[in-house]
Amino acid sequence: MATTEAAPPVTYDGTNQPPASAPASMTGLVSGIINDAQTLLRQQAEMLKAELREDFKRSKRAAEFGAIAIVLTTVGALGLVTALAYVLSEQLHVHMSTAWAIVGGLFTAIGVACGAFSYVLLERFNPLPDKTFNALKENVTWQTK
């Protein structure tokens, strides 16, 4: 026994999908847009917080190792400076105060050069997360128009 099945009704656009629900009211649409914008701003604020936390964690870790490096380098450099002053005095047969002046001047010049380089590096560094900040700024601008 053969059965015949009724074909599903075809909508106006030729698909077998049911038509979309009736259009929402203008108030509902505006309310939905405002809710979406608020959700977007909250998400971007959370992303900004997360990026800042990550940047601060990295900076803190770098500062910890930098502090250890400074202490150890200072101790080692003091020993080398003392040795260098004694070597200059013994090998070049200069007075000890002259040897110390030469070593002091050399390390002062190196220190000034390192300080200038550090200043240039810090001027290029931007601790704010640019991508999130710019997206947040763009969204706030969009909402206020």
Has residue 134 been placed in a domain? no
What residues make up the domain containing 64?
28-128
**Helix, strand, coil in percent for the chain, rounding step 5:** 75, 0, 25
Kindly tell me if the per-residue pLDDT of 145 is higher than 70.
Answer: no
**Tokens for 105?**
């001047």
Chain centroid to CA 68: 23
Neighbouring C-alpha atoms within 13 Å toward the C-beta of 48? 15
The structure's pTM equals: 0.43
Q: Give CA–CA dist 132/57, Å, rounded.
A: 18
Question: What single DSSP character describes residue 63?
Answer: H
> Is 87 part of any domain?
yes
**Residue 133: inside a domain:** no
Residue 76 lies in a domain: yes
Number of alpha helices (DSSP H) and beta strands (DSSP E) in the chain: 3, 0
Reported as a single tens digit per residue, the pLDDT across 44-83 is 889 888 888 888 888 888 888 988 999 999 899 899 989 9
**DSSP secondary structure of 98-128:** HHHHHHHHHHHHHHHHHHHHHHHHHHH---S
Per-residue pLDDT reduced to its tens digit, 83-115: 999 999 999 999 999 999 999 999 899 999 998
Tell me the C-alpha to C-alpha distance, in Å, between residue 5 and each of 1, 8, 9, 70, 98: 13, 9, 12, 85, 110
Q: Which residue has the tokens 């038509």?
A: 19
Residue 45 lies in a domain: yes
Q: How many CB atoms lie within 10 A of CB 103?
A: 20
Domain count, the chain: 1
